[in-house]
Amino acid sequence: MSGPKTLGILGGGQLAQMMAQAAKPLGVDCVVYDPSPDACAKSVAHLVNGSFDNARQLRSFAELVDVITYEFENVPNETVDTLDGLRPIHPQPEALKVSSNRVTEKAFFESCGVPVGPYRAISGPESLRIARDELGLPGVLKSNSGGYDGKGQYTLHTDDELENALAQIGNTPFIYESFVNFTRELSVIACRTIDGITVTYPLAQNTHQHGILVRSDAPATVQMNMTEQAHSAAKRVGDTLNYVGVFAIELFDVGGELLANEMAPRVHNTGHWTIEGSNTSQFENHVRAVMGLPLGSTEPEGHSVMLNIIGEMPNPDILKGISGATLHGYGKAPRPGRKIGHITVNGPDRETCLGTAKQIQSGLRNTMPGGGVRP
């Protein structure tokens, strides 16, 4: 095999770990860059340890590799600036910007002809009141960028909750989204080559609990036109961004119409099932795409159910006597709400897999972050 041989990955978590594992059989070595000396990917890849603003370390990292990619989307601008021009970077850093701002992201979907749920950009009290009048309650107010912390996200059922949020947000940019009455959460994993070929995996059907993905199940049972909607959305998004590598689009199923919720410019948790459940995993295809290798088939093999292991590892005997299930431990320290492993169940059909998954789930000790939910 000719061509580049070493892939540099910004970030050394479980996504980098699984990417490096997929790269090895292709003859591609990986080097990960992470601020933590304990980054879990170091078990399978060479680790360069440095902060994302350490230009000298970043340059040393670049010298070790032929191509650079990411395992996460919040790469600081200065990191990109330092690396720019030293080595090819895939996907191109511009592609990360779309998903770093919720309003930009929705507007981008719309500009590609991909339908989204009702939303308004919020710049302060007046625009929030107008949004409430136009879209109604209930809804969710989210800060445009960043996170799921107490200050950044408000579920609004009543005008009191709206006024309370107003007293806290000031004139910072937010997005207001109406509740979408969806019956399922789906996602599509896509991979696009340097030559502009886009392949997609069968849709995954996803289950969240307290805002954290707990289960993905694929291929989802869908009508043909839903597969087409998802593929066409991915194709348009990938082409518009001139994207290279794997990305995911989360979708709401509203009576058979798919609305895009958000995109992730990287390999995705709802694609972990592809390691055992598909001819070529999302990780292998990502490595293939960014290294300029031909993509592998995205055909599924039977049915897969992936269960996340959150907060705490289960008893190691959890899979004793259960066939067709694979445990992935990332080697990360336990902490409530943290994804530290996953289990994939494979079988001939959905019913069989869900039955096995249920048996396993009763033995999981997942611990979620604190904070209750209210109706």
Q: Does 129 bind a second copy (CB under 8 A)?
A: no
Query: Is residue 178 within 8 Å of residue 139, measured between CB atoms?
Result: yes
Query: Is residue 321 within 8 Å of residue 308, measured between CB atoms?
Result: no
Q: Does 37 bind a second copy (CB under 8 A)?
A: no
Q: Which amino acid is at 57?
A: Q
Q: Which helix (H) or strand (E) holds 303?
A: strand 303-310
Q: Which amino acid is at 277?
A: G
Q: 1, 25, 167, 255: which one contacts a second copy (CB under 8 A)?
A: 167
Nearer to a second copy, 34 or 105 (CB): 105
Nearer to a second copy, 134 or 159 (CB): 159
Q: 36, 51, 77, 209: which one contacts a second copy (CB under 8 A)?
A: 209
Measure the CA–CA gap between 104 and 116, rounded to whole angstroms. 12
Parallel, antiparallel, or unpaired for β 204-209 and 184-192? antiparallel
Q: Does 272 bind a second copy (CB under 8 A)?
A: no
Q: Does 270 bind a second copy (CB under 8 A)?
A: no
CB of 264 to a second copy, least distance (A): 15
Nearer to a second copy, 108 or 154 (CB): 154
Nearer to a second copy, 87 or 142 (CB): 142
Query: Is residue 51 within 8 Å of residue 45, measured between CB atoms?
Result: no
DSSP track, 227-293: HHHHHHHHHHHHHHHT--EEEEEEEEEETTEEEEEEEESS--GGGTTHHHHBSS-HHHHHHHHHTTP
Q: Does 135 bind a second copy (CB under 8 A)?
A: no
Question: Which of positions 349-368 make contact with a second copy (CB under 8 A)?
Answer: 354, 357-358, 361-362, 366-368
Query: From residue 319 to residue 338, what is the string marking binding to a second copy with x (rule CB under 8 A)?
Result: -----------------xx-
Q: Does 111 bind a second copy (CB under 8 A)?
A: no
What sign does the CA torsion over 24, 28, 29, 30 have? negative
What sign does the CA torsion over 349, 350, 353, 355 have? negative
Q: Does 74 bind a second copy (CB under 8 A)?
A: no
Measure the CA–CA gap between 262 and 99, rounded to whole angstroms. 7
Interface with a second copy by CB under 8 A: which range of 18-26, 47-55, 172-180, 189-197? 172-180
Nearer to a second copy, 244 or 343 (CB): 343
CB of 85 to a second copy, least distance (A): 37
DSSP track, 179-240: PP--SEEEEEEEEE-TT--EEEPPPEEEEEETTEEEEEEES----HHHHHHHHHHHHHHHHH
CB of 147 to a second copy, least distance (A): 8
Interface with a second copy by CB under 8 A: which range of 1-9, 44-52, 80-88, 214-222? 214-222
Q: Residues in contact with a second copy, total (CB under 8 A)?
A: 55
User: What residues does 306 pair with on adjacent strands?
Assistant: 216, 344
Q: 14, 205, 285, 304: which one contacts a second copy (CB under 8 A)?
A: 205
Structure tokens at 17: 């770990």
Q: 150, 255, 294, 321: which one contacts a second copy (CB under 8 A)?
A: 150
Q: Does 375 bind a second copy (CB under 8 A)?
A: yes
Task: Give the interface with a second copy as residue ranges (CB under 8 A).
Answer: 139-140, 147-150, 153-155, 157-161, 163-168, 170, 177, 179-180, 182-185, 205-211, 214-215, 217, 336-337, 354, 357-358, 361-362, 366-375
